[in-house]
Every structure is written in structure tokens, then in C-alpha cells.
Amino acid sequence: MSNKVIFTVDGASVQGEQGQTILQAAALAGIYIPHLCAMKGLTPWGSCRVCTVLANGRPQAACTMPIAEGMVVESETAELKDLRASLVEMLFVEGNHFCMFCEKSGNCELQALAYRMGILSPRHPYMFPTRRLDASHPDVMFDFNRCIQCARCIRASQELDGKHVFQFIGRGAHKRIGVNAKSGAAGTNLGVIDKAAEVCPVGCIVKKRVGFAVPVGQRLFDSKPIGTEIESRKAQSR
Amino acid sequence: MADNSSVSRQICAKFGNDKGRMMDILLGVQAQAGCIAPDALDEIAKSLSASRVEVESAATFYAFLSSRPKGRFVIRLCNDVIDRIQGMDRIADALKAEVGVDFGQTTADGLFSLEYTPCIGMSDQAPALLINDKVITRLSTDRVREMVHTLRTTKNLEQLKLTLGDGNNSHPLVRSMVVNNLRERGAVVFAPSTPGVALQRALSEQPVELIKIIKASRLRGRGGAGFPTGMKWEFTRAAEGDRKFIVCNADEGEPGTFKDRVILTEAAGLMFEGMTIAGYAIGAAEGILYLRGEYSYLLPFLEDTLAKRRAAGLLGRDILGKSGFKFDIRIQLGAGAYVCGEETALLSSCEGKPGDPKTRPPFPAQKGYLGMPTAINNVETYCAAVRIVENGPGWFTSMGTQGSAGTKVFSVSGDCSSPGVYELPFGITVAELLARVGATDTIAVQVGGASGRMIGPSEFGRKLCYDDLATGGSIMVFGPGRDVLAVAAAFMEFFVEESCGYCTPCRAGTRLLADRLERFLKGSAAPGDIDYLEKTSKTVKTASRCGLGQTAPNPILGTLQSFRKEYERRIRSNGRVFLPSFNPTSAVAAAEAIAGHVSMHFPAEKAGAKQ
């Protein structure tokens, strides 16, 4: 078959298919490349840059870069690991993330990445921004202190729910998630069963009244680090 | 002010209720209604069958668009580093005193708003400002007083007494006080040429042969990145698409660059001819000139130039009698966003979206404007292409260096006696250029604008060309007494303002870098701060999604390389202060205010003594 593509990740040979991104092909082969904005089922976005790898020596976001025959991908080098940690730390200081009283703790991908990377405290100073809350919607609530601007909600609403509930507004440091109504989330057609209400990797978009339905200790990343589900594929295929 | 809703409906209808013309619609609403109010967003969304937040997304991205009413006269003072060293602060003070409000505010009578804006392309005649779309240069405090007085009494921008500039600046459709400062005309862009000659020659060739000629000339992109133009055209020609597009990047936003302003003023026909030739070469029927909002004073003149070319059979159907070849150009006005100079952000903006860069690959040659194959080149590149077709590739490669054929138009500003535009062969050394522009005792030169590189005297022997010091043309000269770190800090502030905010390293990283650099200027830097700047700069450079973020740390990296002593001498390491950037007195200030009494340990008056 001509659509098979062979490339390497940190020296290991990986077979993927034409049209796949580095992140997708590596994941299917059981190689975990840390990422946040990328999510299976959503259009690749490339904003968090946590999945930065070297592809044939050039820095690229693994989530948007298509694979090519013979491509040499470097991922787990000391420099790239440090770069990713620095980016994750930027996301922490840029918002207001208080894991100890966030209901997403244990299910939060940002927190889980920090644990996996061994981040104890950020190298960057906290910015302590003033961010909004939007609790106007009857079933879903927004704490923008925790938003990392991954655009998952924007994409999920458009691509999976067939709606346009979210979009970025503003620019630069003022860029933030806007909702499709003058009056806040209550004015939108967001539904509690929408995918957009589920895809948030952090505790920015949370459903009301179910916050502690799964107790701390039994949550997604409480026993195994993030990425384990991908890496276990490799273990199985051995 | 007109009613926002009806204005919105009318303007949407004028642009065929086409969502792709969002930029023109938003600019139109703002021009007529004074702002894009929340109700206008609903109205525009309804007319365009778009979502409200989609309209809001575009409307909130651009610095020249506002959701709140602004003054009848919006005064935007350029805060570029050259304006700063040439007296911007005095002008700012005079403006505040005369207008009676601070920057960021509007007067109670709704007459004036004061704002800062990054480089408006007038560094050769700084300090400068915009009043709505009128450019006022070579400012003095006297002129500010006179200007504000005239506007207050007449309420008419046309009543300002301005001496019109040279060349087409005094054309009836321009009528601007801007001067060209065209100091040296080279053989390519500013040499005399007859409209249509090159186009006639181009149309006598097969498109493929034409691309071969451009390739043989070794022409490279004049915007700064230097991608081979012939190759770009070849890729675009080869790419599959129902429609193809030619786009000209006239979003000249790089601080210290203004050469495109002069080309647009004096050689617009040449540029349009180059776009037409490119259209023929790649098989495109449509072209877009993306004109930065700051240059909107040139819009009527450029529209007129296009109309004249249409009338002369140089645009439209069967151009110059060539049956079947049609090509036309529309002008897309920007609205204040440096990032739109990045080619994929520029395309987003042309499509009526916020100026966020697009994911690459695919590259514009494959999927550009509206997802169709698109060739984007700089203003100067199109001009050079015309002259290459006219005079042959051999003529072109006889100028410049092996890797950088032809001439380059430089924008020179700062501490020199003759700032302005110089068209010179590639390969000239920095020292030679400094001698020509009348710069003496120069301590530093910023080559390539904020995203370029600052060099010191030991590197003035280097050549200006793609193989050595690559530049889109911005040359900022700094003389004795200038603080190179303050220059770097001004550039970092610029990048913080102009980041689109899409990716983490550029959005958050540039702020972190700017703040850390600020410590050196405030005298609160610690020894580890140099290391932090180096490492974080590398992260931002490596991980950023587009050229803006990838070059944003350059002001720091360049000065660290050439002026490291300037950093070292400002580090506080007297051994007693663990973290000089931490001021306990100001840290407890908020708590003091809440508690209603002063801190026993860090009272304000003892702050100095304790450290």
C-alpha cells in the first residue's frame, strides 16, 4: 500500500498512514507526546505548543505536522522536555490555578501533565490576572481563571455539536473565550449534553451539581499518570 | 452619529452580505457610526448569516476598531522607539495638556480621544501621529497646540494648515504633509519605467517561461524572509485549485520600515504591474493588495491608480489585447495589527477573520486565500519582478551579491542627518550605509526592525544581504547616549501588544520576557535573570507558531550577544538582597489598605533603608 508512511520517533521506527499527524501516528504506535489543545475527534489546532517536537531538525507542533516518509522525529530529548515544562508552567502562571479547591483536580490534564513532568513550582512568576466567572447558564458554569485557551470548546461546539457557542475575542494577552450572546452563557444555545461542555481539559467549563460525584482518589489521573493509556498500547503490542 | 443598526444593515448590503468582506464591513460601520456597538454585532451577524461571537471575534482583534464610541478626532501618537528618542514624551505631554485627558481616554465633549499606536511608517519624520486617517509628522509642541486649537474651534480636519509633501504626497487624492525622503534612487524600484512595457513582454511569453525568467534572476522575497520568488510562483502555478490568487503584502508594520509607503506613493503602478505579471505567470485572475490601516490616506490615490490601469487596458479582461487573460485587483484595508504582516495572518484578515496565522503546512501556495493556491509577495518584490521582465535576469543578477541579486530599498531612521529611503545594491556594509546617511559615532544599529538584530560597532563591517544580515529594509541608527536596553524593552513591549495570543509561548512568553527585561531597567535584576532571559527566549523562539513569536525574543537575544555588559552592569548583587525584584513594601500595600494600618515590618518610609 502506498499510503503507509514509515518514520522514526526518538530512533524507534513507526508506521503510520498518509495524512496522519505526528501526534496521531505516534499515539497509535503507543508513543505518548505530551499535549493539551489536541484532542481526538477535533481538528488539530496547534496553540498550546506542548507537543513541540523536532521534525527533521525543525521545531514543529506534533499535533499539526503531517508525517512524511523517512521523517526523523525527536521528542523526549532533555531540551524538549524542559521546553514543554516551561510552556506548561506558562499556562499555570498565566491563569489562576488553585488545584486544592478545584473540582477538576485529578481529572485535569494540565495538573496531570505537571505531575508527569515533575513540576513542583513554576519557574515563571505568577501573573494573577483578573478573570471572569460566568455562572449564568442553568447547567454549566465557567471559571475563566482556569482557561488555558486550548479552543477545544470552540471546536467541539462547531465540529461535534453543530453550533457556534464559543469563539475567541480580543487579541494577545487580552484574548479570551467569548460566547455567542450579549448576556453570557445563559443566552446561548449551549446544552448540558453538548460535547463542548465535556472537552475542557481543565476546570474552566464544569457541569453544575456533579462536581464531586467521583471522589478524589478515584479520578482519572489519581493512580496512573497522563499518557499511560497511550503507552499501554505499546505494552500490549509487544 | 448615525444609528448603529441601520448603518450596519446598509453596509453589509453594500458588500453583498458577504462574510468574507467582514473587514470592510467593520471598518465601514466604525467610520459611519463611530464604533461597533454591541447591537451592531447582532445586526451584522444577522445580515451576514454569521454567529454574533464570530463578528465579535473579528471586531475585537484589530486596534483601530472599537466597541465604544471614541472622539470625533482620534489622535494616535506613534510610540515607536525612533519617535521615543526624538521627543515623543514631550509631544505626549503637550497633547495631554491641550486636549485635557490622558492617553486611553476621550474628552467629555466627545471631540478628542488620545491613544498610542505602534510604528505608523513615519520614522524618517518622527515624531508623528495619526488623526483619524490623516498623518501629521515632524511634530513639535507648538504644532500640537495649534492643531488642537484648530480642531477645537473648527471641528474640521481639513482646516489644519499643512504644507503638502513632495511628489504624489501633494496629489489631489493624497494631499498629505508626508514627505518621501527618497534619498537614493537605484536601478530597479525607483528607476524610470513606462507602464505596460514589461507586461506586454510578459504576455508574449508562456507563463512557464516567465517563471523561468524570475527564477534565473534569483529574485528573493523583499519582506525579509527571502524566499525565492520564482519558486513560490512555480509552486502556486503547480498547485490545484479552481481559483488562484495574487496577494501583495503592504502591511508594512515592522518598526522602522517605511519604504513601502514611498513605493506606494511613487511607484504604485509598477507594483500593480508586477501583481498582474504574477497573475499571468501563476494563472490567477484575482489580486488583493493588503494595505495597512495606517496607510489608508493613500487609499483613494491607489484606487484611482487601479481605475486608470483598468481604463488603459492594463487590468480587466483581455489585458493588452491578450485574449483570455483577465486579472483585477481589489484593495483590502487593515485595521491596526502588526501580526497581519505575517502572510497567513494576512490571509485570515483578507477572509474577514481575526488576524490569527494559519496552521502550516499547508502553505499559501497550496491552500491560501479561501483555501485556494495563493502567491503572496512584498510590495518591493512585485516591483523588482517587473524590471526583471523588462531588462532580463542577467541585468538583475549583475547587481548585488551571489545570494542576493539586485537592489534593496532600505528605510533608514534614527540618529543620522539624512533619514529616508535608499535603494542600494545588496551587499553594502553597515558602515558604508551609515556613512551615506550621515550617521556618526553610532553605538548600535537595529537591522531588520524589532524582529531583526541589534549590532554594535564591531559588526559594522557586515554586509546587508540574505547571506549575512538579512533585512526587510529597516535600519534604525542609535547614536551616543542611547540606552540599548531601553530600545530592547520598547521592542518587547511592542511584541506583547502585537502578539495575536493564539499560542502559549508568544502570548505568555513575550510578557514574561518583557517583565524580566524591565527588571534590568529598574535596577532590580538578579544574577540569575540573564540565564532566565536566555532560556525563556529560546523557548519562545523554538515553540512559537509563527514568525512573530519566533522572532519576538530577538531584541533580547541580540542585545545579550552584542551588549552583554549592559545587562551585567545593571545586576544588583550586593549579597544582602536575595530577590531584588521583590519589594516587600509594595507587596504588603494592598493588605495595609484593607487592614487600615501600616505594616510594622515593612513601613513605606523605611523601605529604602532596609535594602
What digits encode the pLDDT tens for the residues B562-575? 999 999 999 876 56
The helix/strand/coil state of A29 is coil
Q: Which chain A residues are closer than 8 Å to B498 by Cβ? A: 172
- Are the Cβ atoms of A49 and B500 closer than 8 angstroms? no
| 10-residue stretch averages of pLDDT, chain B, 611 residues long | 79 97 96 92 96 97 95 97 97 98 96 97 98 97 97 96 96 98 98 94 97 98 93 98 97 97 98 98 98 98 98 97 96 97 97 97 97 98 98 97 96 98 97 98 97 96 95 95 97 98 98 97 92 98 98 97 95 70 84 87 58 38
* Closest residue to A94, CB basis, from B51, B496, B508: B508
Q: Is B363 on the interface with A (CB under 8 A)?
A: no
Chains A and B form CB pairs within 8 A to the count of 126
Rounded CA Rg of chain B: 25
pLDDT score of A237: 59
User: Domain B407-478: which CATH class?
Assistant: alpha beta
Q: How far apart are CA B362 and CA B372, in angstroms?
A: 11
Q: Which chain B residues are closer than 8 Å to A74 by Cβ? A: none
Quote the Cα angle for A129-A135-A139, to 5°.
135
pLDDT score of B584: 83
Name the amino acid, one letter, at B513.
L
Mean pLDDT of chain B: 95
* Closest residue to B61, CB basis, from A64, A94, A171: A171
Are B145 and B227 in contact by the 8 Å Cβ rule? The answer is no
CATH topology for the B484-568 domain? de novo design (two linked rop proteins) (1.20.1440)
Q: Is B568 on the interface with A (CB under 8 A)?
A: no
* Closest residue to B53, CB basis, from A49, A86, A178: A178
- Closest CA–CA distance from residue B58 to any residue of chain A (Å): 7
* Closest residue to B54, CB basis, from A167, A171, A181: A167
Q: How far apart are CA B146 and CA B143, in angstroms?
A: 5
**DSSP state for residue B358 in the 8-state scheme:** P
Per domain, the residue ranges of chain A are: 4-85+227-237, 97-207
Per domain, the residue ranges of chain B are: 4-57, 73-162, 183-397, 407-478, 484-568
User: For the residues of B381-437, what is the DSSP string, one character each?
Assistant: HHHHHHHHHHH-HHHHHTSB-SSSBSEEEEEEEESSSS-EEEEEETT-BHHHHHHHH
Classify domain B183-397 by CATH architecture: 3-Layer(aba) Sandwich (3.40)
Q: Does the domain formed by B73-162 have CATH 3.40.30.10?
A: yes
- Are the Cβ atoms of B496 and A86 closer than 8 angstroms? no
- Partners of A13 in the β-ladder: A8
Q: Which chain B residues are closer than 8 Å to A164 by Cβ? A: 51, 53-54
pLDDT score of B607: 44
The helix/strand/coil state of B271 is helix
What's the CATH number of domain A4-85+227-237, 2.60.290.11, 3.30.1340.10, 3.30.450.20, 3.10.20.740? Answer: 3.10.20.740
Q: How far apart are CA B221 and CA A84, in angstroms?
A: 33
User: Domain A97-207: which CATH class?
Assistant: alpha beta
Which residues, in sequence order, are CB contacts of A150 under 8 Å at separation 6+? A36, A37, A45, A47, A48, A201
- Partners of A167 in the β-ladder: A178
Are A150 and A63 in contact by the 8 Å Cβ rule? The answer is no
- Are the Cβ atoms of A172 and B507 closer than 8 angstroms? yes
Q: Which chain A residues are closer than 8 Å to B61 by Cβ? A: 169-171
Residues lower than pLDDT 50 in chain A: none
pLDDT score of B473: 92
- Are the Cβ atoms of B545 and A47 closer than 8 angstroms? yes
